[in-house]
Amino acid sequence: MKTPQAIATLFFASSTLFTLTHCTKNMNALPGKSTVTTNGATTATVNVQSLLFDGDAALGSSNVWKVLNIEGTGTISVDTDPVYGQVWKFYKPAGSHRTEGHGAKNYQAAEGDDIYIGWRSKLDIPATQNTNAVFQWKAYGSTQPMTQNFPIVVSTSSSGTLHLMHYAPGKIGTEVWVTPLFRNTWNTMVLHLKVSRDASIGFIEFWYNGVKQTLVNGTQRYPARTLDADYCDPKFGVYGGDPSDITNYVHGIKIASTYAEAAPTGGNNNLLTTMYQNCSYTGWSASFGIGSYTTADITAKGGIDNDASSLKIPAGLKVTLYDGDNFTGDSLVLTADGSCLKNNNFNDKVSSMKVEAN
C-alpha cells in the first residue's frame, strides 16, 4: 500500500495498449520494466513511472495537503511566479508561530522505502532570523514510540545560514549540511531518504541547486534513523521565527523513486554577477560566482583591470568592488544592478572584488 499515486503504463508487445490506473496500489513503483501476466494469458512489458506524489500548486490545496497547520494569522495561498507560474505561498506574520502545509495527500512512506523528495523554495526573511523549520520530515502517530519527533529539518539560523538538520532519538540534533542563506531567490533541494527506523539501514543524501552535497561526515551519504513513531510526512512552510514576517514560496514539490523525477528542473541558482566594460552592459563581459577575485582572477575570467563600468547583480548576491588589488583601497558595495559606475564614482577603477550571498 505504499505507492497509491504511482502511475503505471503498460506497453504491450502486441497491438493492445491500455493504461493501468486503479490497480497500482499493491505494486512497487520501481523504475524500469518488468514482465507481467494478465489473466494467465497475455504477457506484457510494464514501464512503471516512479512519481509517487505531485505537490503542484495548480492541483489545489485539497489534492496536495493532508492538513494545513496555521497558528496565528498566517495564510497559505497560491501565488503566481513569473517563471514558474502557480507556486505555494506560506505567509507567517510577525507574532505568529506556524504556517505549514502537512503533506503528502494520498502518499505514505513505509519502512524500507527509498524515496527522493524534491522542491524549490524562495524565502523572504530577515538575514539572521532563525526558524524551527522551513521543511520538516515530521513524525506522527502513537502506536510506536516518538523518539525523534522531526527526524529531518531544513531551517534558517541566526548566523545567516540555511542548514539541514538530523535529529536522532532523544532529539539530538546534528547539522548535517550548511550554506549561506540566499534570500529572495529560488533554491532547489532534493532529499534522498532510505526510510528506516534502523539507523544502520536509513540514510540521507542531499542535492542543493542541482549539486549533490558533501555532508558533515565528509561523504555524500549520512547514515541515520529516518523514520520515527508510526509514520513520517513532509511539511513545507514556516515554523518558528516568531518575531518576523516570513514568507516561504515553494514550487515543484515531488516525491519519486528516482532523482530525475523528483528534481526540480531548470532555474538552478548558480548565481553569477556579470561585469561589463561599458555603461549599460556593453563591451567585454566577465561573470563571477560567490568568491573573492584579485586582479589576476578578474583577468583570468576575461575582465580587464581598471576598465569595468557596469555590473548585473541578481537578487541574492552582494558585490564589493575594490580600487586596489587584494581587496584594498576605496570600495563600493552593490546589491543590485549598477548600470553605470560613473554614478557611483567607481568608473574604470575595479581591481579586485568579493561576491557574497546577500
How far apart (Å, rounded) are the C-alpha atoms in residues 279 and 163? 39
Non-local CB neighbours of 44 within 8 Å, separated by 6+ positions: 10, 11, 12, 13, 35, 36, 38
Question: Which of 79, 81, 124, 323 is in the footprint of Ca ion by CB under 5 A?
Answer: 323
Interface region with Ca ion, contact rule CB under 5 A, candidates 141-149, 155-163, 178-186, 342-350? 342-350
Interface region with Ca ion, contact rule CB under 5 A, candidates 9-17, 71-79, 218-226, 303-311? 303-311
Told to check if 194 binds Ca ion by CB under 5 A, we report no
Told to check if 351 binds Ca ion by CB under 5 A, we report yes
Among residues 54, 78, 5, which one has the least CA distance to residue 250? Answer: 78
Told to check if 295 binds Ca ion by CB under 5 A, we report no
How far apart (Å, rounded) are the C-alpha atoms in residues 123 and 101? 16
Q: How many CB atoms lie within 10 A of CB 139?
A: 21
Phi-psi region at 53: left, alpha or beta (left = phi > 0; alpha = psi -120 to 50): beta
As measured in angstroms, the least distance from the Cβ of 348 to Ca ion is: 5
C-beta of 129 vs 285, nearer to Ca ion: 285
As measured in angstroms, the least distance from the Cβ of 350 to Ca ion is: 6
Among residues 233, 45, 219, which one has the least CA distance to residue 141? Answer: 233
Interface region with Ca ion, contact rule CB under 5 A, candidates 134-142, 242-250, 286-294, 304-312? 304-312
Total binding residues for Ca ion by CB under 5 A?
A: 7
As measured in angstroms, the least distance from the Cβ of 342 to Ca ion is: 9
Instruction: Specify whether the CB–CB gap between 166 and 176 falls below 8 A.
Output: yes
Told to check if 309 binds Ca ion by CB under 5 A, we report yes
* Cell numbers for 208: 542543493
As measured in angstroms, the least distance from the Cβ of 358 to Ca ion is: 24
Question: Which of 214, 265, 306, 343 is in the footprint of Ca ion by CB under 5 A?
Answer: 306
Residues near Ca ion (CB under 5 A) = 306-307, 309, 323, 348-349, 351
